[in-house]
Chain A
Amino acid sequence: MKKITLSHGSGGRLMHELIKGLFIKNLDNPYLNKLGDSALIHAKNKDLAYTTDSFVISPIFFPGGDIGKLSVCGTVNDLCVSGANPRYLSCGMIVEEGFDYSDLERITLSIKQTCKKAGVYVVAGDFKVVEKGAADRIFINTSGIGELYDNARISSSRIRPGDKVIISGTIGDHGAAVLLAREELKFKSRISSDCACLNDLVSSIISSDVKFMRDPTRGGLATTLNEIAQEIGYNIGIDEKTLPVKESVMALCEILGLEPLYMANEGKVVLVVSSKSASRILSRIKKHDLGRGARIIGEIDREKGKKVYLKTKIGSSRILDMLIGEHLPRIC
């Protein structure tokens, strides 16, 4: 009998198959079928973006953030990479009986601070408690509504060969920080999650020159690039030597045989921009605190296809596939 395994939730190929084969097949409608980070809806002369995300991360507190901060950032980021200005959130919590009140308070304060910084409000909420063992400490769901920027034209259909791919900073920080926070490895390190709301950065660069954005969370940059390649029908070429990776993250990956390209990020955005606007947009991103490490990492090939090619450091080339199976469970 077919069972749901952790791999179905990893953000990789199995999850994509589940989404298309079960959810899209049955819940089929033009808004959902676009598989964007948010659904784009039109209400009384206003273009809106609407999205939802659930957070089951373990551990709930980690260097650089906690489940509360993450639950705001995750939804805010899904809205802003869709070209929307995030406005209102809902927040539902499922808590296991016996959970410490002080932890709940700490998480709530973290939600408060993150919302304040991002300029959004939690305008609806829900709170449920389940028996011991029916949930692992605390799970949070947030949904969010944002107003589309007038000058935003985010659509993968606008991507053309020759367009440049930009990443807003170092990759793999969140995945590495959570892995270490679990204390199973007993490594000492100062790696901190990049968990952050991207709406301020995005609002500083939004223009019609930005053709596409996505936040490379679960499955990492490699999976996001593959999603883009599959949507546009052109291959993407990435140059390994341009990829920004912190030395500490690289060291951890080398020891464990992991690749930063598959590690989650929670405060980064991948952008596809026209070739002639690339350096201008890059320098604007770099002016923002969250974009100092931004780089142009590759471009859309002229060749039709749905693959991502990585030019390796030694000068050869290989296919960069989507994440297959579970890299690390419950990172968000």
Chain B
Amino acid sequence: MKYIDEFRDNKIANNISRAIFDKARNLGPINLMEVCGTHTMSICKFGIRGMLPENINLISGPGCPVCVTPKSYLDKAIAISTLPDVVLTTFGDMMRVPGSRSSLEKEKSCGRSIKVVYSVLDAVEMAEKNSDKKIVFLGIGFETTSPTVAASLAYAKKKNLKNFFVYSGHKIIPPAMEILAKDPAVAIDGFLCPAHVSAIIGTGPYKIIAGKYRIPCVIAGFEPLDVLQGILMLIEQIGSNSSYVENQYKRVVKSSGNKKATALLDKVFSVEDSEWRGIGRLAKSGLRLSRDYSRFDALKAFSLPEVKTTPDKGCRCGSVLKGIKTPIECKLFSKKCTPQDPQGACMVSSEGACAAYHRYRR
């Protein structure tokens, strides 16, 4: 298939793999972090680890939006679903993420009105068609997803919709990368930067990582040849002892990003401190609805019953998200914690590091 097969070519993959073997030979152990969950998926799905030398260690980063959503968010989302006339709409990945006592999937099986949508626009349409219901959308995702939510809010405002709300759990990638770059426990030699997040934010936000922290950054696409080439570019930077931001994914990512999308984000959201599952509260790393849009903010529109969030027991999602531990090093992995009965969010989303390890690497 055009645009797919040429990026999965066996011969080219072997050539890049050989070049990586050649250039990494004398570099000692190298830790590369793929920040984005879709990279993790691609690496596992195509068996990319099998094409790399043993001294290159790929670490899965915090770039699966479902995985970094804290338990307290789910507990509140479940609380919202109990309110009268509310229809909770969400992307499918969120359904099985465990909250403190339940999950959206379990609540749905008890008769709560929870609907999986493929796009936030479906939720808006639902609000337009059902004026007697309050449609709440769970806004989860990074810069790839948040512009579509911003666009739906701008539309809802224009149409003066009174029954559409967003519970924003949106997060921003670069602050999390900076925390990881600073953390002495996480020794990262290079970042494989996310593809579609970068299509929105451009190359600028990574400059601080490459400049101040001297860690090479390569923005790479999600197809296997993109990933392999991205890794080769990182190895070349490491080999020449340099660190700068490179863009492998030029067919999609412009260095200036998508200005229309970022302008919309600035209008609809404002930046706030945000809780990342397992990582903690990070300064200026989340998005809440701006003052102009606060009437669409689910947390402001509804008074919620008190929600108690219990701490995780034994789950190492935090260390996995930081790349300090691999999923296999967690005691619960594939035993108490499986995709059927996940204990941590990394096991739920198909992009989560634990789910990817469970599915493809056991």
Residues of A within 8 A of B (CB): 3-7, 13-14, 17, 184-185, 247, 250-251, 254, 256-257, 312-319, 321, 324-325
Q: When A7-B340, A314-B224, A325-B340 are in contact, do A250 and B359 touch as well, CB less than 8 Å? A: no
Total interface residues on B, CB under 8 Å, equals 36
A317 to B228, CA, bound (A): 15
A251 closest partner in B (C-beta): B1
Q: When A3-B106, A325-B96 are in contact, do A314 and B46 touch as well, CB less than 8 Å? A: yes
A216 to B228, CA, bound (A): 34
Query: Is the Cβ of B340 less than 8 Å from the Cβ of A13?
Result: yes
Contact with A along B35-61 (1 / 0, CB 8 A): 000000100111111110000000000
Query: Is the Cβ of A7 less than 8 Å from the Cβ of B46?
Result: no
**Chain A min CB distance to B334 (Å):** 11
Q: When A13-B340, A319-B360 are in contact, do A250 and B109 touch as well, CB less than 8 Å? A: no
13 pairs, A vs B, C-beta closer than 8 Å: A5-B109, A6-B105, A7-B340, A254-B4, A256-B118, A313-B46, A314-B47, A314-B48, A314-B51, A316-B51, A317-B50, A325-B339, A325-B340
Query: Is the Cβ of B118 less than 8 Å from the Cβ of A184?
Result: yes
**Chain A min CB distance to B344 (Å):** 15
A108 to B81, CA, bound (A): 40
> What does DSSP make chain B's interface, helix, strand, loop or mixed?
helix
Q: Does B329 count as interface, using CB distance less than 8 angstroms?
A: no
Q: Give the chain B neighbours of A185 by CB distance below 8 A.
A: 118
Q: Does B256 count as interface, using CB distance less than 8 angstroms?
A: no
Q: Give the chain A neighbours of B350 by CB distance below 8 A.
A: 257
Max chain B C-beta neighbours (<10 A), residue from A13, A256, A319: A319
A247 closest partner in B (C-beta): B1
- Listed from nearest, the 9 A-B pairs whose CB atoms lie closest are A316-B47, A314-B13, A316-B50, A324-B339, A318-B47, A313-B8, A3-B109, A318-B360, A315-B10
Q: Give the chain B neighbours of A321 by CB distance below 8 A.
A: 358-360
A157 to B350, CA, bound (A): 34
Contact with A along B184-228 (1 / 0, CB 8 A): 000000000000000000000000000000000000000011001
Query: Is the Cβ of A318 less than 8 Å from the Cβ of B45?
Result: yes
**Chain A min CB distance to B221 (Å):** 13
A6 to B109, CA, bound (A): 8
A307 closest partner in B (C-beta): B362
A3 to B4, CA, bound (A): 41
A314 to B48, CA, bound (A): 8
Q: Does B122 count as interface, using CB distance less than 8 angstroms?
A: yes
Q: Give the chain B neighbours of A13 by CB distance below 8 A.
A: 339-340
Query: Is the Cβ of A316 less than 8 Å from the Cβ of B46?
Result: yes
A322 to B108, CA, bound (A): 24
Q: Give the chain A neighbours of B96 by CB distance below 8 A.
A: 7, 325
Contact of B8 (CB < 8 Å), options: A7, A17, A184, A314: A314
A309 closest partner in B (C-beta): B47
A318 to B50, CA, bound (A): 9
Query: Is the Cβ of B45 less than 8 Å from the Cβ of A312?
Result: yes
Q: Does B162 count as interface, using CB distance less than 8 angstroms?
A: no
Q: Give the chain A neighbours of B360 by CB distance below 8 A.
A: 318-319, 321
Contact of B10 (CB < 8 Å), options: A313, A318, A324: A313
Contact of B44 (CB < 8 Å), options: A4, A7, A17, A318: A318
Query: Is the Cβ of A3 less than 8 Å from the Cβ of B51?
Result: no
A254 closest partner in B (C-beta): B4
Query: Is the Cβ of A250 less than 8 Å from the Cβ of B118?
Result: no
Q: Give the chain A neighbours of B9 by CB distance below 8 A.
A: 314
Query: Is the Cβ of B46 less than 8 Å from the Cβ of A318?
Result: yes
Q: When A184-B118, A314-B8, A314-B224 are in contact, do A5 and B106 touch as well, CB less than 8 Å? A: yes
Contact of B48 (CB < 8 Å), options: A184, A251, A316, A319: A316
Q: Does B259 count as interface, using CB distance less than 8 angstroms?
A: no
A173 to B337, CA, bound (A): 33
Q: Give the chain A neighbours of B44 by CB distance below 8 A.
A: 318
Q: Give the chain A neighbours of B105 by CB distance below 8 A.
A: 5-7
Contact of B359 (CB < 8 Å), options: A254, A313, A316, A319: A319
Q: Give the chain A neighbours of B10 by CB distance below 8 A.
A: 313-315
